[in-house]
Structure 1
Amino acid sequence: MNVLIIDEMHESIIPLLENEGFLVAYQPDISRKEIIEIIPNFHGLIIRSKTPMDRELLEKANQLKFIGRAGAGLDKIDLDYLRENDIALFHAPEGNRDAVGEHAIAMLLALFNHLGKADAQVRKGIWHREENRGEELAGKTIGIFGYGNMGKTFAKKLRGFDVKVLAYDKYLRNYGDDFVSEASFEQIQQEADVLSIHVPLTDETKGFFSIQVLEQFQKSFYLINTARGEVITFDALNEALQRGILKGALLDVLENERLNSLSTAQKHSFLKLTERENVLFSPHIAGWTFQSYEKINQVLVQKIKAHFHTFSLKD
């Protein structure tokens, strides 16, 4: 099978695929137009998120047997088209779930302990202790919204912090375990001191955390979003922070991450967020570690190999 890789990948992806008998074309700088021109020659496609896998492109891929998504999110892929045409889809959330869990905790502890502000002050010769008095995680209730790979791993990472962890997942049943208690969303709204979002972007989750949903929380709480920015708008975040519904926000993802293409309204709203000391940002790097970069490849190739195990690709 001929496989086309259209995004920058850890170099290990090529030998991993070749060892399973695939013929690999590595073209990370390829344009969408070029992909459309050559895709009829390929049986497999390895992607990240640069190029949407929409119907226009996929209809040109008349020999395509599978797509491998090096990461977790599937929101830029026409899943209906894949099902209609019996094209297999593999992704690798197992490869970066540890990184995401660690990053979420790191952001929370950094905000609780004012590490960014305190570091900047000390570098300037300022030694203010009282205004940098921290908040302890111990004793708090953590709500997890979505209990898939990322949510489960985040819950495991919280073990040892002496917190109560509640998880809500609309599509699971009987998922309480050693790390979380199964909860309704209403229970999380009543009890959570911290809410961490771990759901994919779908029509259902896009804009889910409206101000109307947020104001139903019974306590002022901290929000962590390492999932998809579109689940909550800049405006909803600003209003919730302004009104004290949110004590703080930890944002690895944004409603619009192309900061040079923000609308006028988005620019205004984003600027307000950047001026808030109780908001901490990172540039969509929660799953972006040196280790996850390689682990994603390993997980992805193992899944592809398992799917095609009924025959030898080398024959």
Structure 2
Amino acid sequence: MRNIRVLIVDEVHPSMAEGLTKLGFEVETRTNLSLADFASILPSFHGLVVRSKFKITADLLENTSLSFIARAGAGLDLLDVDACLAKGIAVFSANEGNSDAVAEHVIGQILSLAHKLHTADTEVRHGLWEREGNRGFEIKGKTIGIIGYGNMGKAVATRLAAFGLQILAYDKYAPSADYPGTMEQIFETADILSLHIPLTSETKGLVSTEFLASFKKPILFINSSRGPIAPLEPLLEGLRNGRIKGLALDVLPNEKLSSWSPVEIELFAEIAAYPATIFSPHVAGWTVESYIKINEVLLEKIKAQFHL
């Protein structure tokens, strides 16, 4: 594999560079590049490992001779996949690497909302011993709708089955044989909704006021996929009218908090004022173990690509 050069532009676990080197690739790690510098040196590499530092556009790829792009994460919304395919560039993601982490995170969010663990903890820390106000509900016997039945959705369903929930999984492109469900069934019966779909032109803004109005019961709403799938405005409206009785967001439409406009700040503040809300900074798949497993998945895919 000599003279096949691979550029790593994001902070990833050292096992990626080590693994690529063992496979015979020439590896260069440059995590402090500006976009201009990145664009200028990219044509001299045959492989690219990226997480979320740069958006890989058709313009960036125009003068390159890349064989592959490996994204150290699950989603590919920061890559122009069509442009990659048009140039014969193999695109790898590592959905399998952090599905366990996402599943555990989502279950933790559900249990915290159902049993009011987050609010009870805060109150006790502030000297309040309010038992009745923190009476929760059991998730056994409830119905969860899972939209998206890829690695993440399957991992969540597999673990939640042990809790005695009725599971309905809907995936337009990969229907579930284990827990088949339609959107109509989910709208009709779901007590909990968890999103596990990629951000595409089809899913952007999927969660609207009309979408939430389709649910026959108030729901716990969980989003650990991508923020733009569920804009904050309809989520706030759902909290106001009671269609959302609990909200857990690991992702936001705009995750660069320092760039928020006054409108965004006010909108988020109003949502956060509801006690039945939980937020985390896009870390559902961000564990000690997944940091390594993501690399293991990508290295196996690269090995297969080059028949190593």
Q: TM-score, normalised by structure 2?
A: 0.97
Count of residue pairs the alignment pairs up = 305
Is residue 2:303 matched to residue 1:301?
no
SS in 2 for 1:165: strand
Q: Which residue of 1 aligns with 2:240?
A: 242
Where does residue 100 of structure 2 map in the other structure? 98
Structure 1 segment 1-315 matched on structure 2, within 5 A = 1-61=4-64, 63-173=65-175, 175-177=176-178, 180=179, 182-309=180-307
Segment drifting more, 76-85 vs 259-268: 259-268
- 8 Å CA contact 1:36, 1:60 repeated in 2: no
Runs of 4+ in 1 over 3 A off after TM superposition: none
Code of the residue aligned with 2:68 in structure 1: it is F
Q: Is the 8 A contact 2:150 2:174 kept in 1?
A: no
Separation (CA, whole Å) in 2 of partners of 1:121 and 1:184: 40
Residues 55 and 81 in structure 1, CA contact (< 8 A), matched pair in contact too = yes
User: C-alpha deviations, 1:237-294, integer Å up to 9, x for none?
Assistant: 0001100111111100011111111233222211111111111100000000000000
CA shift for structure 1 position 50: 1.6
Offset of residue 98 of structure 1: 0.3
* RMSD over equivalenced CA pairs, Å: 1.0
Identical amino acids, percent of aligned pairs: 48
Q: Distance in 1 between matches of 2:245 and 2:140?
A: 17
Q: Could you tell me which amino acid in structure 2 is paired with residue 280 of structure 1?
A: I
What SS does the corresponding residue of 1:256 show, helix, strand or coil? coil
CA contact (8 A) 1:220 1:246 kept: yes
Q: Which runs of 5+ in 2 are unaligned?
A: none
Deviations 1:120-165 (A, max 9, x none): 2222332211111111111100100011111011101112101100
Q: Deviation per CA, 1:69-117, whole angstroms, max 9, x where unpaired?
A: 0111101111111111111101100000000000000011111122122
Q: 1:58 deviation in Å?
A: 1.2
Q: Distance in 2 between matches of 1:307 and 1:70?
A: 17
Letter in 1 for 2:6: V
Counterpart secondary structure, 2:291: helix
Aligned partners of 1:187 and 1:222: how far apart in 2? 16
* Inter-partner Cα distance in structure 2 for 1:22 and 1:194: 46
**Post-superposition offset of 1:213:** 1.1
State the secondary structure of the residue aligned to 1:166: strand
TM-score by length of 1: 0.95
Secondary structure, counterpart of 2:133 in structure 1? helix
Residue segments in structure 1 that go unaligned for 5+ positions in a row:
none
SS of the residue corresponding to residue 163 of structure 2 reads coil
